[in-house]
Amino acid sequence: MYKPFGRILYGGDYNPNQWPKEIWEQDMAYFKDARINSATINVFSWAKIQPSEEEYYFDELDEIVDMLSEENYDIVMATSTGAMPAWMYKKYPEVARVDYQGRRHKFGQRHNACPNSPVFQKYARAIAEQLAMRYGNNPHVTCWHISNEYGGECYCENCEKAFRVWLKKKYGTIEAVNKAWNLEFWGHTVYDWDEIVAPNALGDGMENGTDTAFAGLSIDYRRFMSDSMLENFKMERDAVRPYVKDAPITTNLMGTYKFLDYFKWAKEMDIVSWDNYPSYNTPWSFTAMSHDLMRGLKDAPFMLMEQTPSQQNWQPYNSLKKPGQMRAQSLQTVAHGADTVQFFQLRRSVGGCEKFHGAVIGHVGHNNTRVFREVKQLGEELERLGTSILGAANEADVGIIFDWDNYWALEYTSGPTEDLTYVNQIHQYYKYFYDKNIGVNMIPVDADFSKYKIVVAPVLYMVKEGMKEALTEFVKNGGILITTFMSGIVNESDNVHLGGYPGPLRELAGVWVEEIDALAPEQTNKITFADGTSSTCSLLCDLIHTEGAQCVASYESNFYAGMPAITKNQYGKGYTYYIGTNPTEDGIVKVLDMAVQTAGVASVVTEATGLEITCRKTSQYTYYFIFNFKDKVLPLPENFIGKQDLLTGETIPEDFHLKQYDALLVASPNTLRGKK
Ligand code: GLA
Ligand code: ZN
- Tens digits of per-residue pLDDT, 293-338? 999 999 999 999 999 999 999 999 999 999 999 999 999 999 999 9
Is residue 306 annotated as part of the catalytic site, yes or no?
A: yes
Alpha-carbon span 446 to 471, nearest angstrom:
10
Instruction: Tell me what pLDDT residue 156 has.
Output: 98
Residue 674: pLDDT above 90? Answer: no
Query: Residue 597, exposed/middle/buried by CB under 10 A (0-12, 13-18, 19+)?
Result: exposed
Mean pLDDT score, 386-393? 97
Distance (angstroms) between ligand 2 centre and the Cα of 98 equals 6
Residue of 537, 544, 534 lying closest to 523 (CA atoms): 537
149 is annotated as an active-site residue: yes
CA of 628 to the centre of ligand 2 (A): 47
Element (H, E) at 569: strand 564-571
Q: Which atom of ligand 1 is nearest to the CA of 44?
A: 9
List the beta bridge partners of residue 615.
624
Is-contact 675 637, C-beta < 8 A?
Answer: no
Quote the pLDDT of residue 675. 36
Ligand 1 centroid to Cα of residue 254, in Å, is 10
Percent share of the chain, pLDDT over 90:
98
Q: Are 114 and 154 in contact (CB under 8 A)?
A: yes
**Looking at ligand 1, which residue's alpha carbon is closest to its atom 10?**
354
With a CB cutoff of 8 Å and minimum separation 6, the contacts of 507 are 472, 571
- Half-sphere exposure (Cβ direction) of 578: Cα atoms closer than 13 Å: 35
Closest CA to 324 of 264, 260, 370: 370
Are 629 and 662 a contacting pair, CB within 8 Å? Answer: no
| The predicted structure's pLDDT at residue 672 | 63
Q: Provide φ and ψ at 446, rounded to 5°.
A: -105, 25
The neighbour count for residue 659, using CB atoms within 10 Å, is: 12
Q: Identify the nearest ligand to the CA of 147 by its number.
A: 1
Tell me the best of 111, 346, 354 to mutate to test the pocket of ligand 1, counting ligand atoms within 8 Å of each CB and taking the most. Answer: 354
Question: 170-228: per-residue pLDDT in tens?
Answer: 999 999 999 999 999 999 999 999 999 999 999 999 988 899 999 999 999 999 999 99
Q: How far is CA 66 from CA 33, 38, 56, 140, in A?
A: 20, 14, 18, 9
Give dist(CA 244, CA 139) in Å, integer: 9
Task: Give the pLDDT score at 245.
Answer: 87
Distance of CA 344 from the midpoint of ligand 1 (Å): 7
Does the bond joining 502 to the residue before it have cis omega, within 30 degrees of 0? yes
Chain centroid to Cα 211, Å, comes to 23
Residue nearest to atom 5 of ligand 1 (CA): 344
> Which atom of ligand 1 is found nearest the CA of 148?
8
**Closest ligand, as measured to the CA of 200:** 2
Mean pLDDT over all residues of the chain?
Answer: 97
**Nearest bound ligand to the CA of residue 160:** 2
Which residues sit with their C-beta closer than 6 Å to ligand 1?
148-149, 275, 277, 306, 312, 344, 354, 357
Q: Which of 344, 349, 353 to mutate to test the pocket of ligand 1 (most atoms within 8 A of CB)?
A: 344
**What is the pLDDT, as a whole number, of residue 671?**
81
Which tens digit of pLDDT belongs to each residue from 610-645? 999 999 999 999 999 999 999 999 999 999 999 999
User: Is this prediction's pTM over 0.85?
Assistant: yes
| Separation of CA 61 and ligand 1 centre (Å) | 21
Contact call for residues 581 and 541 (beta carbons, < 8 A): yes
Give the atom of ligand 1 at the shortest distance from the alpha carbon of 252. 8
> What pLDDT score does 148 carry?
98
CB 98 within 8 A of CB 156: yes
- State the average pLDDT over residues 460-482: 98
Alpha helices in 563-635 (DSSP H): 585-599
The whole-number pLDDT of residue 104 equals 97
**Helix, strand or coil, per DSSP, at residue 143:** strand
Catalytic residue among 149, 160, 374, 492: 149
Cα distances from 337 to residues 81, 282, 429, 645, in angstroms, run 28, 20, 20, 19
Cα(3) to ligand 1 centroid in Å equals 26
Query: What is the position in ligand 1's atom list of the atom closest to the CA of 149?
Result: 8
Residue 13 Cα to ligand 1 midpoint, Å, equals 9
Ligand 1 closest atom vs CA 314? 12
Which atom of ligand 1 is found nearest the CA of 306?
Answer: 7
Ligand nearest to the backbone CA of 119:
2
Pocket test for ligand 1, best of 15, 110, 149, 342 (most atoms within 8 A of CB): 149
pLDDT digits 0-9 by tens, 410-459: 999 999 999 999 999 999 999 999 999 999 999 999 999 999 999 999 99
Q: How confident is the model at residue 492 (pLDDT cuts 50, 70, 90)?
A: very high
Q: How confident is the model at residue 673 (pLDDT cuts 50, 70, 90)?
A: low
Kindly give the distance from the C-alpha atom of residue 252 to the centroid of ligand 2, in angstroms, as a whole number: 22
Largest Cα separation within the chain, whole Å, is 77
Those residues whose C-beta lies under 8 Å from the C-beta of residue 408, and which sit 6 or more positions away, are: 218, 219, 222, 258
Q: List own/partner pairs for 503-508 with CB under 8 A and 24 or more apart.
A: 503/463, 504/463, 504/467, 504/468, 505/460, 505/463, 505/468, 505/471, 505/576, 505/578, 506/547, 507/472, 507/571, 508/468, 508/471, 508/472, 508/475, 508/481, 508/569, 508/571, 508/576
pLDDT 10s digits, 557-590: 999 999 999 999 999 999 999 999 999 999 999 9
Pick the catalytic residue: 160, 236, 306, 374? Answer: 306
Q: Is 563:466 a contact under the CB 8 Å cutoff?
A: no
Q: Which amino acid is at 158?
A: N
Complete edge-to-edge strand list for the sheet that includes strand 249-250:
249-250, 141-145, 74-78, 38-41, 9-13, 338-343, 302-306, 273-275, 252-253
Phi, psi for residue 635 in degrees, rounded to 5 = -75, 150
Residue 236 alpha carbon to ligand 2 centre in Å: 18
pLDDT at residue 347 above 80? yes
Convert the pLDDT of each residue in 252-288 to its tens digit.
Answer: 999 999 999 999 999 999 999 999 999 999 999 999 9
Please report, as a single letter, which amino acid is at residue 292. Answer: D
Where helices occur in 360-486 by DSSP H, the ranges are 370-385, 404-412, 422-435, 467-476
Residues forming a β-bridge with 260:
none
Which numbered ligand comes closest to the C-alpha of 345?
1
Ligand 1 atom closest to residue 275's alpha carbon, by position in its atom list: 7
In this prediction, residue 532 carries a pLDDT of: 96
Q: Supply φ then ψ for residue 75, to 5 degrees.
A: -90, 130
Q: Is residue 147 classed exposed, middle or buried when 0-12, 13-18 and 19+ CB atoms within 10 A define those classes?
A: buried
What's the rounded Cα separation, in Å, for the pair 512 and 483?
14
pLDDT score at 676: 32
- Over residues 546-563, the mean pLDDT reads 98
Residue type, 377: Q
Q: In whole angstroms, what is the distance from residue 245 CA to residue 255 CA?
A: 28
